[in-house]
Amino acid sequence: MFTRFRRKRIHPVLRDLLQETHLSVDDFIYPFFARSGTGIKTEVASMPGVYQMSIDEILKECDELKKLGIKSIILFGIPDLKDSVGSDAMCEHGIIAETLRKIKMSHPDMFVITDLCFCEYTDHGHCGVIDPVLKTVDNDITLDNLSKQALIHAEAGADMIAPSGMMDGMIQAIRGKLDAAGFVNLPIMSYSSKFASAYYGPFRDVAESSPKEGNIVGDRKSYQMNPANRNEAIAESIADEAEGADILMVKPALAYMDIIRDVRNNTTLPLAVYNVSGEYSMLKMAAKAGVIDYNAVMMETLIGFKRAGADIIISYHAKEAAALLQK
């Protein structure tokens, strides 16, 4: 006698009752790219539907997100001036600090997360201060700068800090700085297993953050992870948990479903994934070419992240997915 699995699939109501993994609008964080000025909403050619926006336009967009039920955003900044250390990121009048204050004034109910890194703020496009001898990021000097940046964001009203630079010891350094300043209840979501991925290409267009200096031009392999390394990815996340991270992350997501599950199996902390720019753009371009059902593939991809073990999904698809979930 064979097992009739299909008995449980014939009726649509029974299929819904037995669905194991669920996707909710509460799972999403939506990224914003802020720049100075007014009335700026510039679409990025490589990422249809994604914009660089001035603060006034971001405030309008927050209204739209709330109508869709999206309550969480993550901020990236594009400063007017960049220098070798990313000074704008450590300035209380920098683009992120100003954007934070305005959002919290107009939308105090919006949960605002800040990406903590220097690639958007440095003139060389790397994630910290360059060691002139080794021609890579100086880990320990960058730790000090990240801590300063975190404190600026905390004082400007951030609800959560998300360090993404893959510096060794970054969670310990940032946690110590925040706690010493009285921000003991401010959570940290660490980009704990972040790979040196080719999937980031379109992001570098919107964030204007392509690296121009290092061991190899355009290369962050001396601090971001080797995509081939599974055990190291688990170790990176577990180390960040030990240093005090409140939430862990795997980035990218689509080609790293195994890593998502591995990290999920090795920690009880909440786990985020970043559905990155290249993943988003591939679906957009495939839809434009008429080779996929865009909505169906998008939702299948997002539920796949949840099935792999993610609790939180940072995604440029969030608005479209939220609209579908409301139907």
Query: Which residues form the catalytic set?
Result: 194, 251
* Position 72, amino acid: S
- Specify the length of the chain in residues: 327
Put residue 112 in one of left, alpha, beta given phi > 0 → left and psi -120 to 50 → alpha: beta
Element containing residue 33 per DSSP (H, E): strand 28-35
Tokens linked to 232: 């190291």
Kindly give, in sequence order, each residue whose CB lies less than 8 Å from that of residue 162, ignoring residues fewer than 6 positions away.
74, 113, 114, 115, 116, 188, 189, 190, 191, 249
Kindly give, in sequence order, each residue whose CB lies less than 8 Å from that of residue 174, ignoring residues fewer than 6 positions away.
116, 146, 147, 150, 161, 163, 188
Report the C-alpha dihedral over residues 226, 228, 230, 235, rounded to 10 degrees: -20
Element containing residue 264 per DSSP (H, E): helix 257-265
Put residue 263 in one of left, alpha, beta given phi > 0 → left and psi -120 to 50 → alpha: alpha
Q: How far is CA 253 from the centre of its chain?
A: 11
CA–CA dist 51, 61 (Å, integer): 11
Burial-class residue 257 by CB neighbours within 10 Å (0-12, 13-18, 19+): middle
* CB distance 112 to 157 below 8 Å: yes
Kindly give, in sequence order, each residue whose CB lies less than 8 Å from that of residue 60, ignoring residues fewer than 6 positions away.
none
